[in-house]
Chains A and B, each alone.
Chain A
Amino acid sequence: MGTPAAQGSKTANQPPILELQHITKRFPGVVANDDVSLDFRPGEIHAILGENGAGKTTLMNIIYGLYHPDEGQVFMEGRPLNLEGPHAAIAHGIGMVHQHFMLIPVLTVAENIVLGSEPPGFRFDIRRAAAEVKKISEAYHLEIDPWAKVGDLTVGLQQRVEILKAFYRRARVLILDEPTAVLTPSEIEDLFQIMARLKADGIAIAFISHKLDEVMQVADRITIMRRGRVVRTLLPTETNPQELANLMVGREVVLQVKKSPYRPGPVLVDVQNLVVADEHNYPRVNGVSFQIRRGEILGLAGVDGNGQRELIEAIVGLRPVRSGKVLFAGRDITGLSPRQVSRAGISYIPQDRQGDGLVLNFTVAENLILKDYNGPQIARRGRIDFRRVRERAQRLVGQYGVAPPNPSLLAGNLSGGNQQKVILAREMGLAPEFLIAAQPTRGLDVGAIEYIHKRLLELRDQGKAILLFSLELEEILSLSDEIAVIYKGQIMDIVPGDKATREGLGLLMLGARKSA
């Protein structure tokens, strides 16, 4: 579905509909946008590429009227635009689909779409609203049932509702903030087709992303941002992913993971017929068995919500096991407490790093002792030895390159990548024999992902066992020695990493029994 470059250059001559000139936005301590000039043209997908914290979202929030620039000016069709809030932006034809949807799950599609700009009149005529929604959804080929309840829709369809919401308000510029982050591979394909149609209809699309292949695939123009500045604007035909990555990070980046050959050791982890229920006592893991050897990364692939979380939480003791066994180095660790599991030599990088993995209002140093604050390295008879805490913090912060390298900073003040480094440093610091990494690179940028992958592979090469749960197939494929595919709480198949294909795994993830 690659976009012909010819089409991109055709639109390049059109006058821009939206133009930013010399936008500067400062926050206490940082310049989020530094003299940024950009334009968006009708019928063009303009990708804004950059790492987390490069200033992409700040810039889009300025366009959408959520922030006011300190310097510079936004122009709409050549006229200066002073946006006092999203309402003003919407009135000028700017629509935004946020990374996290702003929908009310208990209301219907039609209700959600008209919310905030209901048809005039005292009585709210839902039928008329539904008819209008239907009309728009047909006009833009965004098929959806106006009467469906939003909470019942898939994430992809919910995103469609968000897009329709923008067009109900007559958007001519559509900002998509990391739209693919929450979608499955097939939903991403659907979204790209929708984007292509909107482009043909003359909509200007701002596509925010940090995924190189996606940007290469759909963009007509690519602007790379780094540390609040525009590094360069390029056409996809004149560049390649490697160059984009280097520009984004500001140095030479290793895109392809270098992996040493698989040298499996003895079995370290043996999960046997595990059954685990969720909070509502509904079984989520239905008889899962697998083994992990020393020196092996076992990738756990699957669509989100197929029991991955429950499986992992049961292994580390955060969730009761209904039946089955977990053997670790020959010892039965089923039903041990999280502390006992941790002491046994199992570390765990949780998927929700802010909810589970960190106390955001603790300092980095305090977070680094979250698991062994009462262990012999840190505490003496119930007293925490802060000299040791400080020593450890300074050592680990340096070793793992946490930035800024100040252990007395609150964890909540770090970027996502550095928060993950703090967790990684703590979990690795416990010298685990077995590491469970749940979505360890979710939401992180290229530089941080590269770093975390490197560390995981190092651990594997030291002869430790790793269970890697990720929703990113690419990540699973590039790191795993063996890949287990989970579907509805059952392992569909376990395939060797070097024999697995994207398509084969995709089929298994949807419940097909036999591997391709």
Chain B
Amino acid sequence: MQNENFQDVTPLERHGFLRALLRAVSTPLVAVILGILLGSVIIEVSGYNAIAAYVSLFQGAFGSGYSIANTLANAVPLILAGLGVAVGFRAGLFNIGAEGQYWMGAIAAVWVGYAVNLPWYLHIPLALAAAAVAGALWGGIVPGLAKAYAGAHEVITTMMMSYVAIFFSHYLLENGPMMEPGYVPQSPVIRSSAFLPVLVKGTQLSAGIFVALAAVAVVYWVLYYTTWGFEIRALGLNRRAARYGGMPVQRNIVLALAVSGLLAGLAGAAQMMGVQHRLYDSFSSGYGYTAIVVALLAKNDPIGVVFSALLFAALGTGAQYMQIGANVPGRMTDVITGLIVFFVAAERMVELASRWLAKRRQQRRSQAGRPGVGPAQGRGAELESKGAGV
């Protein structure tokens, strides 16, 4: 994606940019299509009608204004947390603990939301900022410092910090300082001055979507147009060259993980302030883990994250409708998600498959190129080489 900075050079290069874009998008697209195809096989084998399932899945996600709004609402935390994971990846860091950073952000936003009394135009920014700081500290300060100065692997530290965050929320809510008086382990409702306004009545779609899209724009700009973004991309692609180039590698490891956590923390805040309005006691929101998948499918591109988050959000909202409409268990969407992840991760496999196809085509062409050889014989050659391959 670096090429867009040069897209106005010559028409030829613009063409090259388009081709690069197509190449960038092709693998995720192929993965999604393969996931859906193989998913339909599994649905059929399980005794359901795959077409009916996909139709109702689609209707559930995009069939009406309400469902579209709910899909968008579902995408908000996925965009933010996915963006966070993507920033980490861009710096070559595997932030697997977005879930914990999401929780810390949620806790901070909810606490500011009910414990502080301010007009909305101060309350909302303050709650968001608190969540951002909480997420950044959770992602950047502990795992980042440990990675940069002690060599502790961020996969371990972010994951462990994630557990700490989740158990911390249990402590706060189960007879702890944030529990609402009564017997239910949940926090008080935040003040309405900290509510992100609902955009479509009767749905969960709130102004959180603007927070998410603004974050995408900012991250995109920082990555591609600032010196710090340049450092982060260099760090992720070749740490030794970054050091050779005189960049502050250690400091950037900490900062990249902090920004990664900051965005996941914002995801928690957007969900609390726009949808839930209070913190419930639970083991997982699931957003932090799906965020990793979102970033993977998006190939860590900020714009790609939006589309990839929308896809997984649609699978989420469509699932309930599919259960009711086509009588297919909603969990089937998890199977499809899993398959997509598999095919994204197996990028090399997709590559190999397409190369194999190209070779096959070429062989057929060179066979067909000889005078008097028809397509039938071309197919014969194909069978022959298949036999040889076994």
A interface residue numbers (CB < 8 A to B): 70-71, 84, 318, 337-340, 342, 348, 350, 355-363, 365-366, 369-371, 373-374, 379, 382-384, 386, 389-390, 406-408
Contact = CB atoms under 8 A, between A and B. Distances in A.
Given A70-B366, A359-B234, A339 B246 contact: yes
Nearest to B12: A406
Nearest to B388: A84
Nearest to A373: B230
11 contacts: A71-B366, A318-B243, A338-B243, A357-B244, A362-B2, A366-B230, A370-B234, A370-B244, A371-B246, A373-B231, A382-B228
Interface string B189-229: 00000000000000000000000000000000000011110
A456 B101 CA distance: 53
B151 to A, nearest CB: 13
Contacts of A70: 362, 366
Contacts of B231: 373
Contacts of A84: 388
A359 B237 contact: yes
A328 to B, nearest CB: 16
Interface residues of B, number: 28
B183 interface: no
Given A362-B234, A363-B2, A408-B9, A383 B227 contact: yes
Given A363-B2, A389-B5, A318 B244 contact: yes
B241 interface: yes
A352 to B, nearest CB: 8
Contacts of B16: 408
B26 interface: no
A348 B240 CA distance: 14
Nearest to B5: A386
Given A84-B388, A374-B227, A360 B240 contact: no
B227 A371 contact: no
B233 interface: yes
Contacts of A374: 227
A338 B6 contact: no
B244 A360 contact: no
Contact of B227 (A350, A358, A379): A379
A350 B241 CA distance: 10
Nearest to A352: B240
B13 interface: yes
B227 A384 contact: yes
Find the residue from B16, B227, B244 having the highest chain A CB count within 10 A.
B244
A356 B244 contact: yes
B230 A384 contact: yes
A351 to B, nearest CB: 11
A362 B237 contact: yes
Interface in B170-192: none
A390 B9 contact: yes
B244 A384 contact: no
B244 A383 contact: no
Contacts of B230: 366, 369, 373, 384
A382 B233 CA distance: 15
A342 B234 contact: no
Contacts of B366: 70-71
Contacts of B286: none
A362 B237 CA distance: 8
> Top 7 closest A-B pairs, CB basis?
A339-B246, A408-B6, A370-B245, A374-B227, A338-B246, A356-B244, A359-B238
B284 interface: no
Given A359-B242, A362-B234, 8 more contacts: A362-B237, A365-B6, A366-B2, A373-B245, A379-B227, A406-B13, A408-B6, A408-B16
Contacts of A342: 246
A384 B246 contact: no
B282 interface: no
A390 B2 CA distance: 13
B3 interface: yes
Contacts of A362: 2, 233-234, 237
A382 B3 contact: no
Contact of A357 (B226, B227, B241, B246): B241
A340 B245 CA distance: 11
Nearest to A313: B244
Contact of A350 (B244, B246, B388): B244
Contacts of A382: 226-228
A390 B6 contact: yes
Contacts of B6: 363, 365, 386, 390, 407-408
B348 to A, nearest CB: 17
B16 to A, nearest CB: 7
B388 A384 contact: no
A360 B243 contact: no
B373 to A, nearest CB: 15
Given A84-B388, A408-B16, A356 B234 contact: no
B226 A355 contact: no
B115 to A, nearest CB: 36
Contacts of B3: 363, 408
A380 to B, nearest CB: 10
B388 A359 contact: no
A350 B246 CA distance: 13
A355 to B, nearest CB: 6
Contacts of A406: 13
Contacts of A373: 227, 230-231, 245
A370 B362 CA distance: 41
Nearest to A356: B244
A211 B227 CA distance: 43
A106 to B, nearest CB: 25
Interface centre among A358, A365, A408 (most CB of B within 10 A): A408
Contacts of B225: 383-384, 386
Contacts of A339: 246-247
Contacts of A358: 238, 241
Contacts of B227: 373-374, 379, 382-384
Contact of A370 (B2, B228, B241): B241
Given A371-B246, A374-B227, A356 B241 contact: yes
Nearest to A340: B246
Contacts of A369: 230
A315 to B, nearest CB: 13
Interface in B224-264: 225-228, 230-231, 233-234, 237-238, 240-247
Contacts of A350: 244
